[in-house]
Structure formats: structure tokens, C-alpha cells
Structure 1
């Protein structure tokens, strides 16, 4: 039975707080070592529910260890270790501490067995990830604020849904539920905000590339994959997730194909691949859910690797836009090789990770007789070649030489990349090791002749298509408009127009009131001023006359019968 003192999330959070006061090599040792210790503790803890914690009228269950939660916690801890090694040269005092708290919050969320514990870790994750973005420098401040507002909005939806769920007498246990009432719809919406689902999906490409060269590695691993986990746990087989996921798939493909910044290309590819997983959750079969869990593991590994190579390029060159790069294989050959490993994993080539995971979801769509979903996922798999598979490495490392000859990546970066590259290759070569850790029994053989040939054809088709149209996909400078235009531009303009209107009304109202006050004041001065009629010195005869007139009027009113 899990012990709360052995909770990996607490280890990471405490380590993150300690790292605020540690610099240099000890910071890297602690940052990389504590996740390893937490991983050992995780795998030396038997499966089962941990002790409960009393809170108000509830019994919290913050530590549920089963095959699904252990799988996600494992890949989170491995990525945290590799990310800490990769970021050894990061000068920010707050990024790595915040990243460990962020990772610990993600681990806490996937291990939580009740909705209250989940919500607490969910909000810690939002705050810590915001700090990671904010540590990217002055240019990241506005993006981190927008990111925080989006995730606080998602947190409000989640909290409202949990409140309604508990008020309906359903308890706080985090179990599978149906989207059959407003409370459950709110919970689902809160989960989908973190998954990068429409209409708020643009926060990923808006905020992640603003982080530092190391910060985006951590960001790519935790928030969206935690959302995938909670969707698997809370809403398996919810059919509305299928069209939502398909929209994410093709949205990510389109924007990654036209983005010019290398890290925005990879950010949009995150939305695309999370869309695959959301579709798998919507299908809801055992094969589909196994595919979702396996692909989440694979995606974290190869996306972290690709972002590490992009981070190494940014660190050495100070450039991120593909138009400023090209020909870097001459100087950064080791980084180029690892980028190609990540790209081959992303393209799902045989012997690489995504080949043995993504196809499970495609096969699940076929088994469920979802023809259009199967066709869409098959086409999307080929289109992925355009983005992380070919477009990113081609324009950064092999396109027209920009004349840059930077130093190779530092040793710490190489070590971090090697860890993730080993996972990408190891999963593809030995898929049974991963399959043994999936939540359901696996009756799936990835290396069949038809599957290998089909995937090679899809990759070849995608590569041929890319080189046929690459002149039209050349990276260009300029603003790439997304749905965040609604609140970044339209909302700002609307606010400005409304503000100008209010100020005009204020000025008009102020002028009208001022004129009225001036008119009244003039009348008062006319009658009561020093030279006014009523303030003037009157002759005694005039006063006697007026007194007589008033007395006469009084007598008339008193004696005349009414």
C-alpha cells in the first residue's frame, strides 16, 4: 500500500523549494537526482490505494497507484530528470525550482484518487508552469499572464463542476463518469482547456515558445499529458471527444505547416498529437486506451528530444526563426543526429517509438468501424511528416546555409538529449516492455508486414509531398494569426473603443453638468450676489409698501371663505 511519505509529488515539490537557495552543480545534482529517487520509490511501492487524509467532511485519497497512474508518473519523472540535466547551464534562479514544483504537481494529479486532491494539484500545476514561462524573460511576461488567465478559467470550470458533482451526492472519488449533466460537462470542459482543445487551443503556441531554451522542454511534458490522463480516467468512451480531437489534429497540422518559428512549429505539433490521444479516449475501447497511454509516453519522449535540440540551437545561436537558420549540421552535428532521431520517432518510422503506439489508436478506429475517423487519422499521420518530421529539421539544419557556425551543444545538453533519444529508440525496438505496463492486456503486434509497408508508404508520401511544395511552405516573418486574435486584438480593440466612448460620454456629461451649474450659479449671483436684487439695500418706504402688500394678502386668504 502506498505511503504518503513516499509520495513522489511531495519529493519534487520540496526539492523545488530547496533549489531556490541552491546554485551551480548542486542545483543540477538535486534537480536530476530527486526525480530518480522518486522514480525508485514509485516502482518499489506496491499497487493499491494509499492512506486517506481527513479534510472537512471528506476523506481525501491523494495516492492511488495502478498501472495507468504509474505509467504517467514514470514518464513525468524521467523527463524531469533529463530536463534538469539539459538545463544545467540555465542562469535563471527560479526556472528549475518552478519546473520541479510543476513536475511534482503533475505527478500529484495523476496519482490523486479524489477530485479535491486533483483540483489542488491542478492549480499548483497552473501556477508553477506560469512561473516557468515567466522565467523566459521580459518578452515572456505578457504571454505568461495570458496563459495564467486561460488556466485559471479552466480551473474555475473544474471547480464549479466538482462542486456540482459533490452536491449531487456523488462523492469525491475520481472515477469514470458520464457527460450527462451540467456538473460533468463543466469538469470535462476544465480538462479540455488544459488539453489545448478548441476554442482556447492557441495558448500552447502563444505561451510555450516564449519560455527559455530549457523551459519549453518541461512545458511540453506535463500540462497537456496530465489532461490526457484525466480524460482517460474520467471520460473514456465519451463520443464528443472524437470530433474535438479530430479538430485538434488538423488544426495542429495546418498551423505547424505555416509557422516560421521552429519552436512554434513544435508547439502546434503538440496540439496535433494530443488531438490523436483525445480521439483515442473518445473511442474508448481497450485497444484505444492502451494506444493513448502508450502514445502519451512516446510523445513526451520524442517531443522533449525535439525541443531539446531546438533549445540547443537557440542557446548557441540566439535565433529561433527558421528564416535565420539553416546549414547548422556543419557545426552542430551531434544535435542534428539527435534531432533526426526525434523526427523519425515523430514520423512513426519502424524501430522508433511512435510506430508502436500511434498505430494502436488508428487500428482501434478501424475495429470500431469508424471509417471517417480511421481515414482522418491515417491522413494526419502522413501529414505529420510536414511538421516535426521534416519541416523542422530541414529548415533548421539542412536548408540554405545561413553561415552560422556556433559551438556544439554543451555536454549537459547532450546528456539530456541522449536520455530521451534512448527512450525513443528503446520503445521502438522493444515495444513489449512498454506494452507490459499498459492498463489493459495487450493483444497487438506492431511489426507486421502490412503495417511496416503501410507506414513506410505514408512517410514516403509525406516526404515527397513536402519537397514538392516546400517552396510554398518556406518560413516567413510576420504575425501568424490564430484564435487568440479574438482576445488579443479584437478584444483589445473593443475595449479601446468602449473606453473611448465612455471617456467621450464622461466629457459630454461633464460639460453639460458644468454648463448647468454655471447657469444656476449665474442666476443665484444675479439675485443673491453682492449686487443682486435681493441683496441690494432698499429704501424704508419700499419695505413698508411690501409689508403692507403681504399683510393684505394674508387678510384676504384668512377672511375670504374657501
Structure 2
């Protein structure tokens, strides 16, 4: 078997094992080299099926390549590298191992060509993301971890019921577009939407992410919801119910983020809001819309991780996570402040940032489809995002009143990780063709 047939997810799984076996510089080398090797392996997978496995009477396709799959896997690998750089000096080895295994599950989903392989990697994500939440180490983290596990394993059961039904009805395990027209397809859609944090079961996200460690929440922000977006693109492009549901997610995230005082809960609710934009785009289902959902998922992983990194440094240095307890930190944390502002501008779709590049594609898709009510709602929602993430987060944390706190700025590795993602936010905004060239052609 050639290396081009080797599942990239296995590299991160092997790295997760090594993280617990080695120490010091060897562990650091594993943390930084494994995602680079994974990224290289991702781009060895060309379009088409590269591996098949016989299971019972079905033929599984654990490795199937396409431009869509490579793009999601690419940003996941980049996230692992920058997240590892950000975390390695303060995170416990078991948290890092769990985070890398969690990322391996996400990359495994990216290349799964059949429903059974996808389900196996899906559950791998659920297991190790739960461990990441538990690594918060507080009573609140343990309670949130239990609730998180219950919700995601329930979602896994629902998804499995749907997969079994589809397989029995069609005789096929292949991943292919479908519409929610019967019990089985509805179960698959609901199972995927649970991971997308779609209401009425979205509370798990804002409940769990702020209870993780400052480093753990960075990893949590990247994989679960965006893997669900990929699954929606592959399985339910053009599903009409997703338009209304996505708009509800957009407004829900804005309202609750505006009401929040906890820094990371603000950002967690804005994850729901931003995934709502992607769900709307999948529901529209045109080439422009699906490209918009894909591009926005890429951009969102970067700027949302950047925002969680900025918040994480503040919590790490001050031990405080409430907006009313912070303020005036720009005086001693200029790098963290500047990177947080860039992330806030990107999520607010400010011109010359990545968020503007990608969110405008979704709005254009609504216009092209004569869905002016969707366009108007998304435009209004963008203003709401600017209020809660573009203004509220950086203003209360870094400016407003002087809290009297004078913490040091980010350690060099955390600062470098933030600078990399801040630069990427600006690069994709100034040169959007870099991202456009990677998008799928439908």
C-alpha cells in the first residue's frame, strides 16, 4: 500500500499515543511535526476512492478524495499545528493527546466515503472531545463533560438509527446527497444537526466550551460543528428546512451572546451564530452557496480559534473570565489585544478580512436565488455579530474602564500562534483568490 493510501487521520492517532510516551523536546517535536505530516498526506489524496474494505456484505470506502474533503482536512490540520503551538507549554499531556485524537476523528470524517466509516470517526470525535472538556479539571468541567457526553452519544444513536434505516432501504452505504423525506433520512439529518449545535439542542456548546481549559476550548471551537457542516454539504445540499433553521441559529447566537458576561460564553454562542450562516448556505444548495459554506467554515475555524486564543491568554494571565472584571488590558497585552481585534473584525465581516471574503459569498447566493428575505436577515445578523463579537468582546476585555490589572502579554508560543492566525485572517481578506482557488467546482 502506497503512502498516498495511508489515512491521514492515523498520523494524528499515532501522535496522540506518542504524546503520552515521550517527554520534553521529543513531545514538542511530535506535537508540531505530526500535523505537518498529516497536511502532506492530505494533499497526496487525489479525487476518487483510494481504499476499500469489505465489511459484512458491504464495501466500505474509508479514503475518498475531493476538493471539498481536502479543504476541510487542510484547515483541520492547520488548526492542529497552530493549536499545538499555542498549547504545548501549559496544557497537560493527556489533554494534548485527547485533542490530537479528537482532530484525527475530524480528519477521518473528511475522507470517509461511506456512512459506516463516517460514523466510526464521528464517535471517535465524541469520545475524545468529551475528554478535552473533562480536562478542565473543575467540578463545573466534570458536570459539563457528563452533559456533553450524554448529548453527543445520544446524537450518535440517532445518527446510527438513520444510517441503518438508509442502508436497509437502499442497500448502499455510500455517502451521497439526499433529502429528509422519510424517517431514516430525518434521523441522519437530526444526528448531524446535534453536532452542528442547532436549536433546540444547542445548549451543550455554550455549556461545555467555557468549562474546558483555555487551551482545550481552542481545539473544541474548531472541529465538531465544522465536521457537521461538511456532513451537511455531502448529505443534504439544498435541503429547504436548513434555510429556516440556519437563520434561527444566527439570531439565537446573537441574542444570547449579547446577554452574556462570561468571555468564552460570548464566543461560544457566536459559534452557533456563525455555523447558522453555513447551514443557511447548505440549505440554499447552489454552487455559490456551497462554496460559501465551505469557505466560511475555513475562515471561521481560523478567526474563531484566534478569538478563543486571545480570550485564553487573558484567562491564563489574569485568572478572570467575566467582562465586568476586565478592562484596560491593552496597556500590558498589546499583542493579545491586536490579535483579538483582528479576530473580532474578521468575524464581523469587516472589509479586507477573511470573514468579509467568505460571508459575502453566502449573501450573494441568497441574492442569486431571489431569496431577498434571507439576504436581509443575514445582513441584519452581520450587524448583530459586530455588536457582540466585534465590539463587546474587545471593548470590555481590553478597553472600557481600567480594571487595575497589569498582566504580562502572551508567552512567546501563544503570541506566535495568534500572530499566525491573525495574519491568515488578513491574508485571506486581502487576497481572497488564495481561498477561492481551493474551492469545489460542482
Spell out, residue by residue over 1:398-437, the C-alpha distance to the aligned partner (whole angstroms, 9 max, x if none).
Answer: 0111100111110110111122112111111111111011
Spell out, residue by residue over 1:122-153, the C-alpha distance to the aligned partner (whole angstroms, 9 max, x if none).
Answer: 00000000000100112300000000000011
Preserved CA contact (<8 Å) 2:5 2:45 = no
* 1:246-395 equivalence runs, <5 A: 246-395=247-396
Question: What is residue 17 of structure 1 aligned with on the other side?
Answer: 17
| Range moving further from structure 2, 3-12 or 193-202 | 3-12
Which structure ranks higher in relative contact order (CA pairs < 8 Å, sequence separation ≥ 6)? 2
List runs of 5+ in structure 2 lacking aligned partners.
none
Matched, 1:426 2:427: yes
- Partner of 2:180, secondary structure, is coil
Supply the distance in 2 between the matched residues of 1:26 and 1:313 (Cα, whole angstroms).
Answer: 29
Supply the distance in 1 between the matched residues of 2:242 and 2:116 (Cα, whole angstroms).
Answer: 24
TM-score (norm 2): 0.98
Using the TM superposition, give the Cα deviation of residue 24 of structure 1 relative to its aligned residue in structure 2, in angstroms: 3.0
Using the TM superposition, give the Cα deviation of residue 25 of structure 1 relative to its aligned residue in structure 2, in angstroms: 3.1
Query: What is the number of residues matched between the two proteins?
Result: 441
Change (3 A) 1:2 1:255: farther
Using the TM superposition, give the Cα deviation of residue 48 of structure 1 relative to its aligned residue in structure 2, in angstroms: 2.2
Preserved CA contact (<8 Å) 2:4 2:45 = no
Question: What is residue 44 of structure 2 aligned with on the other side?
Answer: 44
Using the TM superposition, give the Cα deviation of residue 343 of structure 1 relative to its aligned residue in structure 2, in angstroms: 1.1
Using the TM superposition, give the Cα deviation of residue 388 of structure 1 relative to its aligned residue in structure 2, in angstroms: 1.4
Question: What is residue 108 of structure 1 aligned with on the other side?
Answer: 108
Spell out, residue by residue over 1:84-106, the C-alpha distance to the aligned partner (whole angstroms, 9 max, x if none).
Answer: 00002224231100000000000
Question: What is residue 221 of structure 1 aligned with on the other side?
Answer: 222
Using the TM superposition, give the Cα deviation of residue 363 of structure 1 relative to its aligned residue in structure 2, in angstroms: 1.1
Preserved CA contact (<8 Å) 2:306 2:422 = yes
Supply the distance in 2 between the matched residues of 1:136 and 1:429 (Cα, whole angstroms).
Answer: 37
Alignment RMSD: 1.3
Question: What is residue 53 of structure 2 aligned with on the other side?
Answer: 53
Supply the distance in 2 between the matched residues of 1:162 and 1:47 (Cα, whole angstroms).
Answer: 25
Preserved CA contact (<8 Å) 2:5 2:63 = no
- Partner of 2:224, secondary structure, is helix
Supply the distance in 2 between the matched residues of 1:165 and 1:31 (Cα, whole angstroms).
Answer: 39
Question: What is residue 87 of structure 2 aligned with on the other side?
Answer: 87
Question: What is residue 237 of structure 2 aligned with on the other side?
Answer: 236
Using the TM superposition, give the Cα deviation of residue 40 of structure 1 relative to its aligned residue in structure 2, in angstroms: 1.3
Using the TM superposition, give the Cα deviation of residue 321 of structure 1 relative to its aligned residue in structure 2, in angstroms: 0.8
| Range moving further from structure 2, 2-11 or 312-321 | 2-11
Using the TM superposition, give the Cα deviation of residue 261 of structure 1 relative to its aligned residue in structure 2, in angstroms: 0.5
Preserved CA contact (<8 Å) 1:355 1:428 = yes
Supply the distance in 2 between the matched residues of 1:218 and 1:231 (Cα, whole angstroms).
Answer: 21
TM-score (norm 1): 0.77
- Partner of 2:93, secondary structure, is coil
List runs of 5+ in structure 1 lacking aligned partners.
442-562
Supply the distance in 1 between the matched residues of 2:216 and 2:26 (Cα, whole angstroms).
Answer: 19
Change (3 A) 1:440 1:91: closer
Spell out, residue by residue over 1:268-293, the C-alpha distance to the aligned partner (whole angstroms, 9 max, x if none).
Answer: 00000000000000000111001000
Question: What is residue 118 of structure 2 aligned with on the other side?
Answer: 118
Using the TM superposition, give the Cα deviation of residue 3 of structure 1 relative to its aligned residue in structure 2, in angstroms: 5.2
Question: What is residue 209 of structure 1 aligned with on the other side?
Answer: 210
Supply the distance in 2 between the matched residues of 1:197 and 1:134 (Cα, whole angstroms).
Answer: 23
Question: What is residue 149 of structure 2 aligned with on the other side?
Answer: 148
Change (3 A) 1:248 1:2: farther
Spell out, residue by residue over 1:166-202, the C-alpha distance to the aligned partner (whole angstroms, 9 max, x if none).
Answer: 1113400011112111000000000000000011011
Supply the distance in 1 between the matched residues of 2:181 and 2:4 (Cα, whole angstroms).
Answer: 34
Supply the distance in 2 between the matched residues of 1:305 and 1:2 (Cα, whole angstroms).
Answer: 36
Supply the distance in 1 between the matched residues of 2:115 and 2:215 (Cα, whole angstroms).
Answer: 32
Preserved CA contact (<8 Å) 1:352 1:428 = yes
- Partner of 2:434, secondary structure, is helix
Preserved CA contact (<8 Å) 2:4 2:44 = no
- Partner of 1:44, secondary structure, is coil
Question: What is residue 168 of structure 2 aligned with on the other side?
Answer: 167
- Partner of 1:291, secondary structure, is helix
User: Computing the radius of gyration over CA atoms, which structure comes out larger, 1 or 2?
Assistant: 1
Supply the distance in 2 between the matched residues of 1:241 and 1:411 (Cα, whole angstroms).
Answer: 42
Supply the distance in 1 between the matched residues of 2:27 and 2:386 (Cα, whole angstroms).
Answer: 38
